[in-house]
Amino acid sequence: MGFTDLFEPSHLLTYFLIIMRMGGLFFTAPVFSSSSLLNPVRMILVLIISLLLLPVVNPVTITDPNILWLIVSVAKEILIGICIGGMTSLLFSGLQLGGYLVDYQIGFSMVSVIDPSTNSNVSFTGQIYNILGTLIYLGIYGHHIFLRAVGQSFDFMPVGDFTFNKDALMFILTTFIKIFVIAIQITAPVFIALMITNVIMGILARLVPQMNIMVIGFPVKITIGVLMLIASMQLFYIAYEKIVFEYFRQIQKFFEINSILN
């Protein structure tokens, strides 16, 4: 496709719908939706990537597009982008939930810090997990795999010619539930160690009533929690890397489900 072909009505419409999908994706996907990435820069990236994808995307073939069709198509493209980006952002939401569970066991449930990527309050341990998860995600070129998956989405879900089905929507809801599985998998070593510590402290409180468990237990749980957090870093890397690749396989499966049923 030459540069002059871009101004043809079908190519302009296709380019516009690609921008809608990429826009919904860039404002929900991890790393790309970070507040540290300015909105003008994000929009420029959307325009450039959409232009690069245009030659490999089948143009819209509708002969007489009307306002209603355009509104519905724009809404569908934005929703597709949000679904893809939202499914990937669950990787980091699971980390934050897992960090909150750990902080609750340690006694840091009232402690929170500001996440600069979202400008929201998150738990202290959740922020540590979030930073480590982002580094691992970038280290294994997760953002490259993500953009490649987005490019493949146009093969399975053509622009302007796609309808959602109940099986695909149920698959998205099932994937959202896996956020709790991610939280348990990531925090299992620290969480179990702290639960065992709580049981031991409870037994000591019954055996030695004179001991002030509230005074002794707090620094003990902090020490054990931090030591287990450090000791489980290698396991964290192995587990999270597998989870990231598994999630990309789930996104690929989501594309295939829609391709089969549409």
Contact 194, 221 (CB under 8 A): yes
* Structural domain total, the chain: 1
The confidence score (pLDDT) of residue 3 equals: 46
Per the listing, tokens 């037994």 go with: 203
Q: What is the pLDDT of residue 259?
A: 60
Closest CA to 128 of 34, 218, 251, 233: 233
Contacts of 179 (CB under 8 A, 6+ apart): 90, 93, 94, 97
User: What range does the domain containing 67 cover?
Assistant: 4-261
pLDDT along the chain (262 residues), means of 10: 60 85 83 76 86 81 73 84 80 79 74 61 77 83 79 77 65 70 77 83 78 75 83 81 78 68 50
Kindly state the tokens that stand for 181.
């599985």
What are residue 121's DSSP bridge partners?
Answer: 114
Contact by Cβ (8 Å): 43, 25: no
pTM of the entire predicted model: 0.72
The pLDDT of residue 76 is 84
Q: What is the pLDDT of residue 62?
A: 67
Q: Look at the block and give the residue holding tokens 């302009």.
A: 12
SS3 content of the chain, % helix, strand, coil (to 5): 75, 5, 20
Phi, psi (rounded to 5 degrees) for 181: -65, -40
Give the number of other Cβ atoms within 10 Å of residue 42's Cβ.
Answer: 17
Running DSSP on this structure, what letter comes out for residue 59? P
pLDDT for residue 2: 46
User: What CA–CA distance (Å, rounded) separates 230 from 225?
Assistant: 9
